[in-house]
Structure 1
Amino acid sequence: MTIAVERKGGTRARANAEGIINRPVAVAVRVSAAPRQRVVVSWGLACPKTDTGTDKGTGGSYTTTAPNVRALRLPRREIAFCAVRGEARLTRKGRVKVTLLGSER
């Protein structure tokens, strides 16, 4: 299922998407760009064990050539929900799209 989508265009365009998924079993970030080019992707994930709990969260970044899909490692098995964010930044002029994907229990 799609958690969130964001599109931007221009020189070194930057698209930010964020959303929440309940009881996730898998989460991924998908990026696409036109024209095809290198994209810098940053992501963040906070997944508390309970609805009222807190989580320090994890995150990272990587550089890839779009299109690309990358699964994000969930911190544990039993999760109430995850707050997910993803950002994709072009290295040249063009259009970029970042999509946050997930599967619920």
Structure 2
Amino acid sequence: MSNAKAVSDATFEDDVLKNDRPVIVDFWAEWCGPCRQVGPVLDQIAEEHAGKVDVVKLNVDENGETAAKYGITSIPAIYVFKDGDVAKTSVGAKPKAVLEKEFAEFLG
């Protein structure tokens, strides 16, 4: 079971844009192999950095409006939102150490 909360077009604003903490958003799809590889890595980051950063997942097949708004053309796309804005992006499945380094400033 994933530690990351599933968000949708309908909940994105409240769960991500209005969140007081930085939010790591995993834009993914069920059929995407690399997405399935990076999912457990993001779950670990969510667990280890709970209270400092929130991690959520947005299925691009089911939530095309939000995916289109942020120009998601390749997945997995991992975006960090801070104060309602995109603060950092990473595209592709990467090892945990690489993601932690890329997002270090948001992990506390």
TM-score > 0.5 by shorter chain: no
Between Structure 1 and Structure 2, whose CA radius of gyration is higher? 1
Give the TM-score, by structure 1 length: 0.30
Give the TM-score, by structure 2 length: 0.29
Instruction: Give 1 or 2: higher helix fraction.
Output: 2
Instruction: Give 1 or 2: higher strand fraction.
Output: 1
Query: Which structure has the higher relative contact order (CA within 8 Å, separation 6+)?
Result: 1
